[in-house]
C-alpha cells in the first residue's frame, strides 16, 4: 500500500510510533528525555525529506516496518518485531493445535505427498497413508501447488468440508471428503521403552500442551515398568517458561528452586520452585542436550545439573537465557522484548555473551569442534566456577556444559548426505513402496523392530532407484560406506509407514550413540541421586 503524507501527519505518525515504544523503556527514556526529543526531531526531519524529495512516492508501510525491525535488532538477538501474518502462525504454534485435515506432507514431483497422517486426525480416520498423493482439491488440479497454497486450501474452520482426490500405488484415483477438525501439534515425538527398565521421551518443543503430553508419556512408561528415564532435549529450541518449570517438577522432589529471573523492573524478578510429588522423582535420570537445545531446554538441564538430580550428556547447549515478553500492537503485529535474564539454581547465567554481532552470535553453531572452541573462549574470559547442591563444580559463561561430552559417532559420506538432503526424498519413497509390497511385515510389530533387516537385494534396488533419478551426479560406491545406516533409515521409514513415530524412533535410536552412552550411565545417575537426595 502506497500513500503520501503531509508533514503534520508524518509528525503525528512518528510521535505515536515512538510513544508506544517508549512505554517499554520508561526508565532510561525519562532520564534521557532531551536526547530522545532531539533524536525524534531528527527522525521526523529525515522522514519529511524523504516524503518531499524522494524520486518515487515512498512505501511508508514498508519503511516504518523496516524501522521497527531496525530498532529491535539493536537490542539483542532475541528481541524481535513480528508481522501480523507471522503473529498468527506463532500463536497457532504455541497453542499446540490448528484446524485442518491433519497431515505431515512434502511436495514431491509437483504434488502434495502425505509423509504421515497425524494420529486421530480426519486424514488418519479416513485411512490416508504415507505416500498418498493429493492430486485434486475441491475438483481443481493440485499439480504444481505451493506450500502456502496447501495451507490456504487444506486448513480451515472446524466442521468445514474439503474434497480431495488421492492417487495411491496399485489403485485408481479415488475421492475422499474430509471434515476439518482441531489438529494437535505434538511436542512429544516419541515415548518408548528402550529396554525392560528404561523409559525414553523425546520432547522437541515447548507449547501449551507440552506438560500434559510429558505427563501422559511418563504415566504410560511408569505402567510399563520404567525404573529410569532418558529425557531427550536435543534440537529443542525452547518455548514457554511455565511449561519448562512444570516439566522439571515431574523429576525434582521437594520445594527446590528450579530457575529464577532478574531484570530492570522488580516485576520481572521471579523465582520458580518445584512443588508437587510425582513417582518419577525417585528414578535415575539422564538428560540429552546438544548445541540446538535452547531456552526452556536449558532451564530443565540447568536445574537437573545444579540440583544433582541427574546427568547431562551431549554437547554444550545454545545459550539462550533471555526472557521475552510479547506485546501486541494495534495492527495485529507484535514486539517481543527481552525483559529479564534466566539463571540456574546455582546462579549461572544461561545467556552467552552477545556483543552486537549477529553473524558471530550464530556462527559457532556450525563449528565441528564447537565445544572445544567455546571452552577456549571461556578460559580466555576467566570463566566463573559455581557449585552444585552436592558440591560438584560447574561453569558459567552461557549455555549448559554437559557432564559428559558425547560427539555424534556418524561420519557419513557426502554422497549419503546428498541422498538424505534431496527434496526427492529417496529413502521415504523407497520405504513407502517397500511397505506397500510387503504388508505381511505389519502383522508382527515386535518381530519387525527386533529382527527385520533389509535384504542385500532390496538395498541394491534402492541404489538402482537413485541411479535412475540422479544418473552420474552421485557416487553410488561411496554410499556403501554407510550401508548399515541407510538400511536402518529405510527400516525406520517402513516402521513409520506401518505404525507411528514411536516405532520409527525405536528403530532410529538403536543406532544412536548418545542413547547407548546414556544407557551406560544410568547406574551413575542413580548413585548421584542417592548421594545428594537429602542435601539442602
- Please classify residue 376 by burial: count the beta carbons closer than 10 Å to its beta carbon, then call 0-12 exposed, 13-18 middle and 19+ buried: exposed
DSSP 3-state of 1: coil
Contact between 178 and 213 under an 8 Å Cβ cutoff? The reply is no
DSSP string, 415-472: HHHHHHH-TT-HHHHHHHHHHHH-GGGGG-HHHHHHH----HHHHHHHHHHHHHHHTT
Q: How far is CA 128 from CA 106, 219, 423, in A?
A: 15, 30, 22
Q: Which of 116, 274, 293, 295 is catalytic?
A: 295
Pick the closest to residue 286 from 276, 300, 272 (CA basis): 300
DSSP 3-state of 518: helix
Contact between 98 and 185 under an 8 Å Cβ cutoff? The reply is yes
Nearest-angstrom CA–CA distance, 127 and 414: 37
- Please classify residue 481 by burial: count the beta carbons closer than 10 Å to its beta carbon, then call 0-12 exposed, 13-18 middle and 19+ buried: middle
Contact between 207 and 239 under an 8 Å Cβ cutoff? The reply is yes
Q: Which of 320, 418, 487, 506 is catalytic?
A: 320
Query: Looking at the chain, how many residues does it have?
Result: 536
Q: Which of 181, 232, 246, 306 is catalytic?
A: 306
Euclidean distance between the first and the last CA atom of the chain, given in angstroms as a whole number: 62
- In the sheet that holds 311-314, the strands lie side by side as 188-193, 198-203, 228-232, 285-289, 311-314, 404-405
CA 375 to chain centre: 25
Nearest-angstrom CA–CA distance, 17 and 528: 55
Clarify whether 295 is annotated catalytic.
Answer: yes
Pick the closest to residue 431 from 473, 487, 493 (CA basis): 493
Contact between 428 and 497 under an 8 Å Cβ cutoff? The reply is no
Clarify whether 320 is annotated catalytic.
Answer: yes
Clarify whether 461 is annotated catalytic.
Answer: no
Catalytic annotation, residues:
295, 306, 320
Amino acid at each position: 500500500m502506497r500513500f503520501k503524507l503531509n508533514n503534520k501527519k508524518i509528525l503525528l505518525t512518528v510521535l505515536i510510533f515512538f510513544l508506544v515504544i517508549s512505554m517499554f523503556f520508561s526508565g532510561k527514556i525519562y532520564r534521557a528525555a532531551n536526547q530522545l526529543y532531539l533524536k525524534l526531531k531528527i527522525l521526523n526531519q529525515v522522514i519529511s525529506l524523504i516524503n518531499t524529495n524522494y524520486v518515487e512516492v515512498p512505501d511508508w508501510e514498508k519503511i516504518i516496518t523496516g524501522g521497527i525491525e531496525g530498532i529491535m535488532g539493536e537490542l539483542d538477538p532475541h528481541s524481535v518485531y513480528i508481522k501480523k501474518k507471522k503473529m498468527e502462525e506463532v500463536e497457532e504454534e504455541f497453542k499446540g493445535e490448528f484446524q485442518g485435515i491433519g497431515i505431515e506432507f512434502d511436495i514431491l514431483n509437483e504434488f502434495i505427498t502425505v509423509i504421515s497422517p497425524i494420529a486421530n486426525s480426519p486424514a488418519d480416520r479416513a485411512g490416508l497413508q504415507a505416500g498418498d498423493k493429493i492430486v485434486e482439491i475441491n475438483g481443481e488440479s493440485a499439480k504444481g501447488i505451493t506450500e502456502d497454497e496447501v495451507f490456504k486450501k487444506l486448513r480451515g474452520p472446524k466442521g468445514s468440508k474439503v474434497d480431495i482426490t488421492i492417487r495411491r500405488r496399485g489403485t485408481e484415483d479415488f475421492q475422499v471428503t474430509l471434515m476439518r477438525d482441531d489438529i494437535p501439534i505434538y511436542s512429544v515425538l516419541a515415548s518408548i521403552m528402550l529396554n525392560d527398565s528404561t523409559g525414553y521421551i523425546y520432547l522437541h518443543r515447548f507449547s501449551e500442551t507440552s506438560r500434559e503430553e510429558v505427563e501422559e508419556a511418563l504415566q504410560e512408561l511408569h505402567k510399563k515398568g520404567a525404573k529410569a528415564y532418558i529425557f531427550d532435549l536435543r534440537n529443542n529450541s525452547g518455548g514457554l517458561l511455565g511449561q519448562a518449570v512444570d516439566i522439571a517438577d515431574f523429576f525434582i522432589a521437594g520445594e527446590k528452586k528450579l530457575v529464577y529471573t532478574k531484570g530492570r523492573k522488580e516485576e520481572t524478578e521471579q523465582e520458580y520452585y518445584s512443588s508437587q510429588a510425582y513417582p518419577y522423582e525417585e528414578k535415575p535420570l539422564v538428560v540429552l542436550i546438544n548445541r540446538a537445545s535452547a531456552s526452556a531446554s536449558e532451564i530443565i538441564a540447568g536445574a537437573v545439573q545444579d540440583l544433582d538430580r541427574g546427568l547431562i550428556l551431549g554437547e554444550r547447549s545454545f545459550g539462550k537465557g533471555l526472557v521475552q515478553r510479547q506485546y501486541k500492537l494495534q495492527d495485529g503485529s507484535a514486539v517481543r522484548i527481552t525483559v529479564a535474564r534466566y539463571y540456574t539454581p546455582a546462579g549461572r547465567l544461561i545467556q552467552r555473551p552477545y556483543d552486537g554481532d549477529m553473524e558471530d552470535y550464530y556462527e559457532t553453531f556450525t563449528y565441528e569442534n564447537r565445544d572445544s572452541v567455546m571452552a577456549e573462549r571461556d578460559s580466555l574470559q576467566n570463566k566463573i566456577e559455581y557449585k552444585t547442591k552436592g558440591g560438584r563444580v560447574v561453569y558459567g559463561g552461557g549455555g549448559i556444559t554437559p557432564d559428559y561430552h558425547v560427539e555424534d559417532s556418524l561420519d557419513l559420506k557426502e554422497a549419503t548426505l546428498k541422498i538424505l538432503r534431496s527434496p526427492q526424498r529417496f529413502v521415504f519413497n523407497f520405504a513407502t513402496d517397500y511397505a506397500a509390497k510387503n504388508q505381511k511385515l505389519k502383522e508382527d510389530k515386535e518381530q519387525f523392530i527386533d529382527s527385520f533387516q533389509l535384504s542385500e537385494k532390496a538395498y541394491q534396488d534402492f541404489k538402482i532407484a537413485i541411479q535412475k533419478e540422479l544418473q552420474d551426479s552421485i557416487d553410488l560406491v561411496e554410499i556403501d560406506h554407510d550401508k548399515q545406516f541407510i538400511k536402518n533409515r529405510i527400516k525406520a521409514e517402513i516402521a513409520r509407514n506401518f505404525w507411528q513415530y514411536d516405532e520409527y524412533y525405536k528403530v532410529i535410536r538403536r543406532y544412536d550413540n548418545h542413547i547407548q552412552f546414556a544407557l551406560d550411565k544410568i547406574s551413575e545417575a542413580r548413585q548421584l541421586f542417592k548421594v545428594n537426595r537429602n542435601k539442602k
